Amino acid sequence: MPSFEMIYDTEEDVLEVTFEVFEETFARTIALNERILLFTDTNFQSSWGLNFDGYGTLLQVNETVLDGLNALSEPNRLRILQLLAEPPVSYFLEVRDKAEGIAVIKSPNLEVLVG
């Protein structure tokens, strides 16, 4: 990952991570659930960022359901699951059950991100 930006708002418990600078007119926002957003290109080929609302809370629960994937067509769902399984997104969440959309939120090691 050449560069990234992480902003954590302690008061709101929101973590915003940007992996690539992107033009908003070419971006697509996918609500993975009511608390997690994925920013990607319109063809679902690369991940541009993540937004976690309630990041501290998400870290404390055993799992979260990515029920927003249910609204996608099967080909797009599979593309998104592939993006979630690859770095840099995989540094922040791990999909444990693709069929059910079960994931665990992670706190990445900064060395992994800058290494």
Locus of tokens 């994931």:
103
Q: Kindly list the strands in the beta sheet with 27-31, ordered across the sheet, starting from the edge strand earlier in the chain.
A: 5-9, 14-18, 47-53, 36-41, 27-31
Give the whole-angstrom CA distance, residue 81 versus residue 100. Answer: 11
pLDDT in tens, 46-85: 899 999 999 999 999 999 999 999 999 999 999 999 999 9
Give the whole-angstrom CA distance, residue 13 versus residue 70. Answer: 26
Domain ranges within the chain, ordered by starting residue:
5-114
pTM of the model: 0.91
